[in-house]
């Protein structure tokens, strides 16, 4: 009968699993967010993260007692506080988990006078366990840095779990990363867009790059220029980099003096043409609309909508005259 129960349920101590190696118990893995800047990902960084973890008591080595030959772990349930029992219910056989009657569900069985004073029989303690993380050049947002076996220790597990740091890149105020490329936006005045530009870009490693346009090359709003080899370092490929992409915005002057207009017309050779118009053509002039004008226009529109909803002046309630 005992052999049959062991074959059905794998009951411990009843012959099941003899000669088979017991499966090792592993603790759970824990993920931790590690904020990093784009500068960190470009240059690389080594940082130490302060942390406390649960470890086996250094005094009793996780036994719960300092008395030689003793172990605070209950032998009846192997420290689990519960054990499996098999019960017959009529023609049925049921396996269930119940609290261990040897240790009253505590998982410990030791004389109070023999309990470890350092951990009070808990078998574990909190210790400082800082993590030294190396952020490699070219790593990306959501990349992971694993620390094998650095999870909490416990007498109830054989292998501690892993600690996994997940990189979380914070937003940069100037550069935007796109895979291995870097993007920036640069505003230049109209005169530089027409006559050539020069400006300095301070890179993520502190270098100052002088970006200079070719003479005679015109820049339009939205134009993009590529500086090869000045993007992010390629991870695993020393000496190789992505590109730096510059998107231009052109700042126009708000007004030109008469003399400046004439000068530009002469240089650009694109002044207003002398066109003859027929008698039916009317000359008009535009004005700049102010926010007050916009508000007045919206109010007039609302008044017109109210008049239409009222029946177009057909009397109270919008009643219209019937056709004869």
CA–CA distance, 99 with 274 (Å, rounded to integer): 103
CA–CA distance, 212 with 230 (Å, rounded to integer): 15
Higher pLDDT residue, 248 or 281? 248
- Confidence tier at 206 by pLDDT (50, 70, 90): very high
The 8-class DSSP code of residue 127 comes to E
Q: Would the pLDDT of 269 be above 70? A: no
Among 89, 163, 104, smallest CA distance to 129 is for 163
> What is residue 7's predicted lDDT score, i.e. its pLDDT?
43
> What is residue 276's predicted lDDT score, i.e. its pLDDT?
65
How far is the CA of 296 from the CAs of 290, 293, 299, in angstroms? 10, 5, 5
Domains and CATH numbers, the chain: 25-51+129-169 (2.60.260.20), 176-251 (2.60.260.20)
Q: Would the pLDDT of 15 be above 50? A: no
Mean pLDDT to the nearest integer, 169-182: 96
Q: Pick the range with the lowest mean pLDDT from 12-16, 103-107, 120-124, 203-207.
A: 12-16
Q: Would the pLDDT of 75 be above 90? A: no
Q: Would the pLDDT of 3 be above 50? A: no
CA–CA distance, 71 with 63 (Å, rounded to integer): 5
Among 232, 231, 261, 265, smallest CA distance to 246 is for 231
Considering the entire predicted model, what is its pTM? 0.65
Among 198, 200, 322, 194, smallest CA distance to 270 is for 194
Report which listed range, 159-168, 249-258, 292-301, is most confident.
159-168
Antiparallel, parallel or unpaired: β 144-147 and 52-56: unpaired
- Confidence tier at 98 by pLDDT (50, 70, 90): confident
Mean pLDDT to the nearest integer, 139-149: 96
């Amino acid at each position: 009968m005992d052999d049959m129960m062991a074959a059905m349920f794998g009951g411990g101590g009843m012959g099941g699993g003899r000669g088979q190696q017991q499966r090792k118990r592993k603790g759970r893995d824990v993920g931790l967010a590690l904020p990093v800047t784009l500068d960190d990902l470009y240059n690389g960084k080594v940082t130490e993260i302060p942390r406390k973890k649960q470890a086996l008591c250094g005094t009793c080595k996780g036994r719960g007692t300092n008395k030689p030959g003793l172990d605070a772990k209950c032998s009846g349930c192997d420290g689990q506080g519960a054990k499996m029992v098999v019960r017959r219910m009529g023609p049925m056989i049921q396996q269930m988990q119940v609290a261990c009657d040897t240790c009253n569900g505590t998982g410990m069985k030791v004389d109070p006078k023999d309990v470890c004073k350092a951990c009070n029989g808990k078998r574990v303690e909190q210790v400082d366990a800082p993590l030294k993380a190396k952020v490699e050049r070219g790593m990306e947002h959501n990349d992971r840095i694993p620390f094998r076996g650095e999870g909490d220790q416990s007498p109830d597990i054989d292998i501690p779990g892993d600690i996994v740091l997940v990189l979380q890149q914070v937003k940069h105020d100037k550069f935007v990363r796109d895979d291995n490329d870097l993007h920036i936006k640069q505003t230049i005045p109209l005169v530089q867009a027409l006559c050539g530009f020069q400006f300095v870009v301070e890179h993520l490693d502190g270098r100052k790059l002088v970006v200079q346009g070719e003479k005679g090359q015109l820049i339009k709003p939205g134009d993009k220029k590529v500086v090869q080899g000045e993007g992010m370092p390629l991870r695993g490929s020393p000496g190789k980099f992505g590109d730096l992409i510059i998107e231009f915005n052109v700042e126009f002057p708000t007004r030109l003096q008469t003399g400046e207009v004439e000068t530009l017309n002469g240089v650009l050779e694109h002044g207003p043409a002398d066109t003859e118009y027929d008698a039916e053509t009317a000359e008009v002039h535009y004005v700049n609309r102010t926010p007050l004008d916009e508000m007045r226009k919206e109010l007039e529109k609302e008044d017109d909508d109210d008049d239409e909803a009222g029946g177009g002046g057909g009397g109270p309630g919008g009643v219209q005259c019937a056709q004869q």
